[in-house]
């Protein structure tokens, strides 16, 4: 646990527990998950029960208790995308990455997630990779997209 980094985050919010969610967001961004020992440290420093920190960490989908990949792949499973074959897109990506939905690759590069409507129904089916939208994505194209992303990331 990098205490100096945690202290920097705490200082940013003057150690004020009213900013617990914002503090956890910063921790999530830095570590890509919320380690238990780190949540315990935050609870101590902020003077709040660990149960409160844990509750927030498990309530919001933005937080993860498991290490997440450097790149997040979200396959939209909303109605419009579902009708246009989102399940096959998810399967193709899953095969290409060698992981199931909700999992992270062993090298911690990619996390694959099924999500609800991402607000781009007009170009369904949609996949979002690190905030970049890819629409009208058929299964073959989605597998190629992942393969290309992995290759470019390896450079
Ligand atoms: S249902 Fe997929 S973008 Fe809306």
Give the mean pLDDT of 23-41. Answer: 93
Q: Which tokens in the block code for residue 6?
A: 């945690």
Polymer length in residues for the chain? 155
Lowest model confidence (mean pLDDT) among 7-16, 134-143, 144-153: 144-153
How far apart, in whole angstroms, are the C-alpha atoms of residue 142 and residue 149?
10
Please give the pLDDT value at position 121.
Answer: 97
Substitution site in 80, 83, 115, 137 for ligand 1 pocket (most atoms within 8 Å of beta carbon): 80
Tell me the CA–centroid distance for residue 72 and ligand 1, in Å: 17
**Which pLDDT band holds residue 154 (cuts at 50, 70, 90)?**
low
How far apart, in whole angstroms, are the C-alpha atoms of residue 17 and residue 8?
15
Supply φ then ψ for residue 108, to 5 degrees. 60, 30
- Global pTM? 0.78
Substitution site in 74, 75, 78, 137 for ligand 1 pocket (most atoms within 8 Å of beta carbon): 78
**Which pLDDT band holds residue 150 (cuts at 50, 70, 90)?**
confident
């Amino acid at each position: 646990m990098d205490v100096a980094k945690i202290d920097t985050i705490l200082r940013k919010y003057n150690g004020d527990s009213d900013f617990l969610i914002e503090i956890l967001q910063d921790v999530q961004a830095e570590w890509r998950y919320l380690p238990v020992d780190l949540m315990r440290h935050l609870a101590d420093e902020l003077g709040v029960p660990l149960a409160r920190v844990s509750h927030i960490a498990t309530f919001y989908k933005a937080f993860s208790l498991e290490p997440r990949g450097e790149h997040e792949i979200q396959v939209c499973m909303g109605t419009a995308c579902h009708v246009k074959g989102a399940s096959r897109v998810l399967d193709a990506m899953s095969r290409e990455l060698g992981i199931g939905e909700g999992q992270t690759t062993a090298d911690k590069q990619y996390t694959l997630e099924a999500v609800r409507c991402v607000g781009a129904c007009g170009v369904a089916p949609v996949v979002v990779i690190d905030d970049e939208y890819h629409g009208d994505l058929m299964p073959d194209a989605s597998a190629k997209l992942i393969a290309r992303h992995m290759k470019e990331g390896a450079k």
